[in-house]
Amino acid sequence: MFYEIRTYRLKNGAIPAYLKVVEEEGIAIQRKHLGELVGYFFSEIGPINEIVHIWAYSSLDDRERRRAALLDDPDWRAFLPKIRDLIEVAENKIMKAARFSPTGGSAS
Q: Please write the tens of the pLDDT for every residue from 24-72.
A: 999 999 999 998 999 999 998 988 899 999 999 999 999 999 999 999 9
The C-alpha atoms of residue 106 and residue 108 are separated, in whole angstroms, by 6
Distance CA 85, CA 73 (A): 20
pLDDT digits over 78-107, tens only? 999 999 999 999 999 999 988 888 876 665
Contact assessment for residue 29 and residue 21, using Cβ atoms and an 8 Å cutoff: no
Structural domain count, the chain: 1
pLDDT value at residue 9: 97
Evaluate whether residue 67 is within a structural domain.
yes
Which DSSP letter does residue 22 get? I
Q: Is residue 102 part of a domain?
A: no
pTM: 0.89
- CATH code of the domain covering residue 50: 3.30.70.100
Looking at residues 10-37, what average pLDDT do you find?
96
Give the model's pLDDT for residue 106. 64
User: Is residue 107 in some structural domain?
Assistant: no
> % helix / strand / coil in the chain, to the nearest 5?
40, 35, 25
Q: Specify which residues 81 forms β-bridges with.
A: none
pLDDT of residue 107: 54
Name the residue range of residue 79's domain.
Answer: 2-96
Kindly report the number of other CB atoms within 10 A of residue 24's CB atom: 10
Q: Is residue 50 in some structural domain?
A: yes
Q: Which of the four pLDDT bands, split at 50, 70 and 90, describes residue 14?
A: very high
**In Å, how far are 15, 59, 66, 67, 100 from 20, measured between CA atoms?**
8, 31, 24, 23, 36
Residue 106 lies in a domain: no
Is 101 domain-assigned? no
Predicted local confidence at residue 105, as pLDDT? 67
Q: Is residue 17 part of a domain?
A: yes
54 inside domain: yes
